[in-house]
Amino acid sequence: MTRLPHYATLSNIRTVILALALLSLPACSRHRHLDKQIFHYNESAGIATLDPAFAKDQSIIWPCRQLYNGLIQLDEELNVQPCIAKRWEISPDGLTYTFTLRDDVYFHKSPLFGTPDSTRRVVARDFRYSFNRIVDPDVASPGAWIFKDVAGLETPDDTTLIIHIAEPFSPFLSMLGMVYCSVVPHEVVEHYGKEFRSHPCGTGPFKFQYWKEGVKLVLRKNPNYFERDEEGRPLPYLDAVAVTFIVDRQTVFLEFLKGNLDFMNSIDAAYKDEILTSEGALNPKYADRIDLETTPYLNTEYLGFNMEETDSPLRDRRIRQALNYGFDRRKMMQYLRNNIGTPGVGGFVPMGLPGYDSLPSYGYEYNPERAKQLLAEAGYPNGQGLPKLKLSTTSNYLDLCKYIQQQLGLIGIDVQVDVNPPAALREQIAQGKSTWFRGSWIADYPDAENYLSLFYSANRAPAGPNYTRFADKEYDRLYLKARKCTDPERRIALYHTMDSLVMQQAPVVVLYYDQVLHFTHKNVHGLRSDAMNTLDLRRVSIDK
C-alpha cells in the first residue's frame, strides 16, 4: 500500500456495525412534506458512487459536495477561503503548507463510532488518512495525481496538518478544494471497504439518508454542521435534498415546468428553443415563473489534432491554421447554441480565470481568404489534392461538426464526420488512434495551469492529459517556470505567452467557451453560481 510519507503511524480501528435506518421520500414528496424545505433536482447521467475518492465527474461531485468538506473551499469568485482549516501559512520557499484546523467539526453520526447515535471530532490524522487513501494503488482513485508532488505529511497535534511538497506549485492550495481531498473517517471506510460508495459518512451540510440506484437519492440536513451564515444562523437552511434519475431530457424539462424539480442545469437541444430566445435569454413567457442565472463556465470545447500522426497533411501547421480560420464560430454559436457560451476566438484558456476577464487577441476569427492563402502555401490551392480529413466526434456534437464540415467545404476542404460512442472515442484519443477529434476540458481547479498542462510534453497521453501529443521545448520551459512562479501577475503573463504559443502552433481548434445556465423557480432563493458550476446548497431556501 503506497502512502504519502509521514512521521506517525495511523492505527487501523474496526468496530461492530449496527443497522442504519433508511427513509425513502416518495415521488410525491413535495405534496406530502409541505412543512419541509426539500430541494429537488435530477441527474440524468446517474450517480456511480458517493465516495469522494472517485468524484471524477459532475454527477458525483454535486452530491459529494453536500456530504463532505475539505481543508479549504472556493467562494463565488473562485478565491480560496477557509473551511475545516481556519487558517494556513505557506513557507517563503513555497514548499511547506501548515494548516490549523477547527476543533468543532464532527463526522455524521454512525454506529461505527461506538453507539447508534455517536459521532467523532475531525482531527489532523483524519486528513492524513484520507490523503493516504487517495494515493493507495489498491484504492485506485482517479484523484491520486493531486498528491504526486507531496513529499510528506505531519500531524504534530490534533489541529495541525503540515504538507511538504517537492517543488513550489502555486495552484496547489486551490487544488485542495477538490472533492477528492475531502476528509473521511477511517472507522467507516475500513468497515465498508468498496461499499463505502453507498454508505457515505462525511462532515458536510447534509448527511446520507437513502439511495435506490437509478430511482432516488435522499440527503437530510446535518443538524451538527459547523458553518453559520453572516447573521450567525446555522447552515444549511434546507431540510433535505432529493435527487431523481430521469434519463430522458425532455421529460426532465417537463417535470421542471410542472414544478416537480426546483432546479435545472443547462439545457438540451430538444427544448432549447422553447425556453431560450435566439440570443440566449429566457423566453419572456416564462419570466413570471422562472429565473435564469448565467456565468462563464470553465469548459473549453475544441477539436484536437494528433501531432504525432506522420502520414497526415494535418502535420503541416498551415493546414491546421487554415482549419482554424475556415469557419464562422459566431454564427455557429448563434444558430446552433442560441448564443449559450462565447465563440472560441481567443486562446485555449477560457474566460472566468484570473487574467482572462476578456478574450485575448491571439486566437482565430473567421477569415476564409486567409484560410485559402494558407492552403495554397501548403501546396493545396483551393483544397486541390488535399486528402479527405476525418473528424471523429460523438452524436451530441454532430450538429456542430456538420456545420464545420459545410463551412470548410466552401473553401475546398473535404471533411468526413465520423460518429463514435463516447467511451470508444475517449479510448481512441487516449491511445493516439484518432487523427482529428472533438474534445473538451473542464477545469479541475481554477488556475490556467490546469488548461496549459494539456500541452506539456511530459503529460503525453495516455499517462497524462496531453491528448494532442504536442511537444515544444520553449513551451515546456515556460510551463515549468510558471508552475514555480509565486508572483501572480508574473505567472499570468507567462500563462498568456504559453497560450499564445499554443494558438500559433495550432494543435487545437477552439470551438467555444461554455456557459453555466441555472434555471430555478421563483420560490427558490440563494442558489450559488460560479465558473466551476458548483452546486452549493448551504444557503438555499424555498418559499413554501
- As a three-state string, the secondary structure of 387-421 is CCEEEEECHHHHHHHHHHHHHHHCCCCCEEEEECC
What pLDDT score was predicted for residue 271? Answer: 86
Residues with Cβ within 8 Å of 234's Cβ and at least 6 positions away in sequence, in order, are 223, 225, 227, 228
Which cell numbers in the block locate residue 422?
Answer: 463516447
What pLDDT score was predicted for residue 263? Answer: 96
Q: Which residues pair with 42 in a beta bridge?
A: 244
Please give the distance of CA 292 from its chain centroid, rounded to a whole number. 21
The Cα–Cα gap between 513 and 441 comes to 10
Q: Which residue has the cell 491528448?
A: 467
Look at the domain 29-245+522-542 and name its fold.
D-Maltodextrin-Binding Protein; domain 2 (3.40.190)
Backbone Cα Rg of the chain = 25
The Cα–Cα gap between 113 and 170 comes to 38
The Cα–Cα gap between 180 and 164 comes to 18
Query: Mean pLDDT, 10 residues at a time, over the chain (544 residues)?
Result: 50 29 37 76 96 96 98 95 98 95 98 93 98 97 95 98 95 96 98 97 98 97 97 97 95 95 88 89 95 95 95 96 98 94 96 88 97 98 96 95 98 97 94 96 95 96 94 97 91 97 98 96 95 96 91
| Strand extents, DSSP E, 213-356 | 216-221, 240-244, 263-265, 290-305, 342-343
What pLDDT score was predicted for residue 33? Answer: 56
Name the phi and psi angles at 238, rounded to 5: -70, 155
Look at the domain 297-516 and name its fold.
Dipeptide-binding Protein; domain 3 (3.10.105)
Same fold, 29-245+522-542 and 297-516: no
What pLDDT score was predicted for residue 416? Answer: 97
Please give the distance of CA 452 from its chain centroid, rounded to a whole number. 16
Which cell numbers in the block locate residue 254?
Answer: 417537463
What pLDDT score was predicted for residue 270? Answer: 80
What pLDDT score was predicted for residue 11? Answer: 32
Name the phi and psi angles at 349, rounded to 5: -75, 130
Q: Do residues 314 and 320 touch, judged by C-beta distance below 8 A?
A: yes
What pLDDT score was predicted for residue 34? Answer: 61
Domain-wise residue ranges, the chain: 29-245+522-542, 297-516
The secondary structure of 92-114, three-state, reads CCCCEEEEEECCCCECCCCHHHC
Positive or negative, the CA dihedral 142, 143, 145, 150 is negative
Angstrom CA distances, 128 to 5, 82, 89, 156, stand at 10, 18, 18, 11
| Strand extents, DSSP E, 269-329 | 290-305
Burial status of residue 10 (CB atoms within 10 A of its CB: 0-12, 13-18, 19 or more): middle
Q: Do residues 514 and 341 touch, judged by C-beta distance below 8 A?
A: yes
